[in-house]
Amino acid sequence: MDKERKLLIAGNWKMNKTVAEALDFVQDLRREATGIKEVDIVVCPPFTALDEVSKAILDTNIRLGAQNMSEHQGGAYTGEISAGMLKEFSVRFVILGHSERRQYQKETDALIAKKALAAHAASLKPIICIGESLAEREAGITEKVLDRQLNGSLAGLTKEQMQESVVAYEPVWAIGTGKTATSQQAEEAQAFVRRTVAAIFDDTVARRLRILYGGSVKPSNARELMSQSDVDGALVGGASLEIRSFIDIIKNSI
Ligand code: PEP
């Protein structure tokens, strides 16, 4: 697939897999992904498996991501994990503002912006998640919601930091529901995201930015979604837990 931007496919394991299960998975992934150069492959295990997975993917084409981090550098924040701590395990990416965290942990755009700045300060690339709910789509306010989330979550980033960030468009109604956005819906929303980033930053930043689609991506819909001009990869939940479906998504996207 001929794209200016390199595809990025990230697996978000959420609160799944013991260390032993994670190691089984990455051993298979190492074998299956050998030689794939067209896609940046990222796995995002739970914190507890980062250390072992990090060692298991050393010297491979697989990169490590975390699912969250604190906006603080350190101190009295019980239960939190800082960007610096993630760096100890060679983490390169961190998912921020996933809709589950926005919903269950009440994360706001302002908090996500602070986390994104903290990630960049530690040279981690944030994967900043945005997306409308079903009610918002049905009310015809998808673009308004995306505009608000982008302006809020990207606040304070420099152009250089924005270019090194990744945005994941994940319509909430498509996450874990089996309901995928049509490729046309994904393209429309993601083209809007790129236009909005161009308006906030500039055209060059927007052109270089990778925008992922997330929401029930599976091997059977990956090719069609990835063929859209503003879809530069995928953030995959459920289908990233099984080696066969994750690798087939990657292979079908090339
Ligand atoms: C996600 O949680 O980021 C996600 C896209 O999940 P799923 O692929 O299971 O819809």
> Can you tell me the distance from the alpha carbon of 31 to that of 3, in angstroms, rounded to the nearest whole number?
26
Atom of ligand 1 minimally distant from the CA of 238: 9
Place of tokens 């001009």: 229
99 CA distance to ligand 1 middle (Å): 10
Closest-lying ligand 1 atom to the alpha carbon of residue 175: 10
Q: Which amino acid is at 152?
A: G
Which residue bears the tokens 């897999």? 17
CA 44 – CA 49 distance, rounded (Å): 9
228 burial via Cβ count (<10 Å: 0-12, 13-18, 19+) = middle
Average pLDDT per block of 10 residues along the chain, 254 residues long: 84 98 98 95 98 97 98 98 98 98 98 98 98 96 98 98 98 91 96 98 97 97 97 98 98 96
pLDDT at residue 4, as a whole number: 84
Q: CA 136 to CA 116: how far, in whole Å? A: 25
- Beta pairing partners, 40: 8
Give catalytic status of residue 80 as yes or no: no
Give the per-residue pLDDT at 179: 86
Q: Where are the beta strands (DSSP E) in the chain?
A: 7-12, 39-44, 62-66, 93-96, 125-130, 166-169, 210-214, 233-236
The full DSSP string for 86-147 is: HHTTT--EEEES-HHHHHHS---HHHHHHHHHHHHHTT-EEEEEE---HHHHHTT-HHHHHH
Nearest-CA residue for ligand 1 atom 6 is 237
Q: What is d(CA 102, CA 96) in angstroms, rounded to the nearest whole number?
A: 9
Residue 17's Cβ-count burial label (10 Å; 0-12, 13-18, 19+) is buried
pLDDT at 180: 87
Q: Tell me how far the alpha carbon of residue 121 lies from the centroid of ligand 1, in angstroms.
A: 27
pLDDT of residue 2: 54
Which residue's CA is the nearest one to ligand 1's atom 8? 237
| Catalytic entry in 71, 100, 132, 170 | 170
From the list 71, 98, 100, 187, the catalytic residue is 98
Report all structural domains of the chain as residue ranges with CATH numbers, in order of start: 7-253 (3.20.20.70)
Residue of the CA atom closest to atom 2 of ligand 1: 237
Q: Residues 6 or more apart from 28 whose CB is under 8 A from it?
A: 243
Active site residue 4: no
> What's residue 221's pLDDT?
96
Task: Give 237's DSSP letter.
Answer: S
CA of 23: how far to CAs of 20, 96, 108, 201, 235, in Å?
A: 5, 24, 33, 40, 20
Q: Taking the model in full, what pTM does it have? A: 0.97
